[in-house]
Structure 1
């Protein structure tokens, strides 16, 4: 059978399998094993255990559970609420200080936890009721937190970036740095829209809030500064050549646990057990998907599907930006239905040769891909962050949350366009800190 036709069949059956309700990892293994059995025979199945466990035989993978523990220990405390309150006290005299505080808290908490749902939950529990109490539109209150939560997979340390780096054998340090400037750009775009929408709906009085004394501003800082110092220390150790990402993640996880135990008194064995249990569960899920995606990639390569698709696209006489638009549309659609980790692991083996042959930077592409995945987090039918916000504020309908999130989707599309026009937004910082690549 023609590899391209076979690839189309694989794509359709994979989508149907994943929509059947089975987990992503199990679905990939079923599809991979089935096609290898039909086209390569029983002997090909003997290699699957070796491929499955071989994909996990990487020291870099240790950074995933460590960063997850780091984020879980933060998410299990009042760090999010304290961070939000600290920003509110310091920005209260700034026009639109409350909505800026929420988005700023989302950005900082995302940098500490690396989790979109955790960011939405931690900041939303405080931010949404407070904004609604002061008269902000429900769409602005819910949409800003839902969109701000997506920054968790872009601003370092990002598990999504780690997975991309492992899947494409790209420097994780460079990927982390590449997400900093685009992440800040998105924060600014979100803030601009939030202030405009507040003004547009006639809530000009919301652009100025109350005031706090200097004593009230400083008394909250000891609770949040240690966590921010840990993040800064982890990033310095990683980029200063002190340690590898896995080593810095381990130290960061230990320090975050210690700070949570000392400052927030998270010393009870049951509380610590919950942190470690949830971290283990999430880590195993991601590692299971990584291993299954390795088997899926082997199947695509063994049946010459990956090579044939790359060769076919290479023969197309189309502008490389037309090709990039097609890739973005594919990523958007995939992100609507699948979690970011699954999309990256399934698409990276096919897309990486295509984008590199078209002259695109894989570091830059990682940022574009991640922003596409951010859009999927606040877009139906999956839209994980939408449901998290609905759980926090059940009296706000999903329709209102979705409509409130759509302008932020437009902000993300604008960010992708800006990255296409000015790729250095993503590549400048990695090149400056780690040196330009040859």
Structure 2
């Protein structure tokens, strides 16, 4: 059987397992194990456990649970509430100001938590009911939160950037900085579309509706809310400084950030009881184990494909394409987009980044610029079916909005992400200038 046929059968088996509800890590592991046994015989079982362990026995991966703990501490505290209410007041006179404040809150909260689902849940629980009460269209209310939540994997600190850096042996600090300008550019595109969508729909909370709102904040209360948020923002700035300044490794910076965020949550929001702290550690453990299992299973899956010469054949086929390098990039983008429709970002990065990196470098593309392009492609997958994690999170916290309305409201934001990719292709300096200026 030729490698391409074998690869097709492996992919069909993987999608079949996921279609019946098998968790992604177990689906990857089962298909990989079956492929290895069929291709190389029963002795391969001897090396399965060793390969599984070695794939995550990398010191750099220590940063992942630490950044997750940092995000869990922020998500479990009222930081999102204070951030949301403060921006609501400051942006009161901006057209569609409440929806714009939600996107702004998502952008900042994404930097604090580094997690798209956490950002969606934290801001959406407050933002969606308030927008609906003030007359915003359901699609805009749901779509701006679902799209804003995707910024969690682009604006640093980002777990997916850590995984990409380890998988491709590139600088994590430089990757973090590369995502800053594209992240806020993407937030700006979201804001522009939100204002246009509200005007097309003919409604967004005017001053009368806003005055009638139950949430009335004085200037002093607003300032107090911002003061409580600023220390958390200072932690993120400090982490970025230590990374690009060479003061600490990503694992050390992540550990310090996790400790400081928990300490700030305890001191500022009086989270002294064991119950909220237990929730922080529980959420950290759950998400960390899930991500590490996916990484390990994806590594075995990649090893199985390589042992069957599937990846080599595919890589050679792409590399041998006698086309312009931008046509090659378009093919790669389409491939990443399709992969993001079905697989979580971490799995896509672990399986594809090591294969695509030599092709990207041979074509003359910058690996840090490509990391941003790859991440935006995976962001699109978070708000598009069939997986669309953020869509289901929004539907879960706002069940009164149908999944159809959530999807239709989110699709224009996916087009904004496509536009961002096009802009980055014309102006790659948006991703490469800041890392070069700060790190040389």
Question: TM-score, normalised on structure 1?
Answer: 0.94
Structure 1 residue ranges without an equivalent (≥5): none
Name which of structure 1's ranges 285-294 and 14-23 shifts more when overlaid on structure 2.
Answer: 14-23
Contact 2:136 2:205 in 1 (8 A): no
* Aligned pairs (5 A) from 1:92-171: 92-171=92-171
Shift of 1:13: 2.5
Name which of structure 1's ranges 105-114 and 48-57 shifts more when overlaid on structure 2.
Answer: 48-57
Shift of 1:305: 2.1
Structure 2: how far apart are the matches of 1:39 and 1:137? 54
Structure 2: how far apart are the matches of 1:373 and 1:125? 24
* Aligned pairs (5 A) from 1:363-378: 363-378=368-383
Shift of 1:183: 0.5
Corresponding residue for 1:347?
352
* Residues 233/38 of structure 1: CA separation in 2 closer, same or farther (3 Å cut): same
Does residue 221 (structure 1) correspond to residue 226 (structure 2)? The answer is yes
Structure 2: how far apart are the matches of 1:350 and 1:238? 27
Contact 2:161 2:371 in 1 (8 A): yes
Contact 1:289 1:342 in 2 (8 A): yes
Q: Secondary structure at the match of 2:206?
A: helix
Compute the RMSD of aligned alpha carbons: 1.8
Shift of 1:72: 0.4
* Aligned pairs (5 A) from 1:392-431: 392-431=397-436
Corresponding residue for 2:50?
50
Contact 1:310 1:353 in 2 (8 A): no
Does residue 320 (structure 1) correspond to residue 320 (structure 2)? The answer is no
Contact 1:198 1:204 in 2 (8 A): yes
Corresponding residue for 2:68?
68
Name which of structure 1's ranges 244-253 and 131-140 shifts more when overlaid on structure 2.
Answer: 131-140
Structure 2: how far apart are the matches of 1:240 and 1:349? 27
Contact 1:89 1:216 in 2 (8 A): no
Structure 1: how far apart are the matches of 2:13 and 2:355? 17
Contact 2:340 2:381 in 1 (8 A): yes
> How many residues are aligned here?
435
Structure 1: how far apart are the matches of 2:414 and 2:72? 27
Corresponding residue for 2:306?
301
Contact 1:306 1:349 in 2 (8 A): no
Contact 1:136 1:206 in 2 (8 A): no
Question: TM-score, normalised on structure 2?
Answer: 0.94
* Residues 105/77 of structure 1: CA separation in 2 closer, same or farther (3 Å cut): same
Structure 1: how far apart are the matches of 2:437 and 2:207? 38
Shift of 1:200: 2.2
Structure 2 residue ranges without an equivalent (≥5): none
Corresponding residue for 2:88?
88
Shift of 1:205: 6.6
Contact 2:98 2:205 in 1 (8 A): no
Shift of 1:204: 6.9
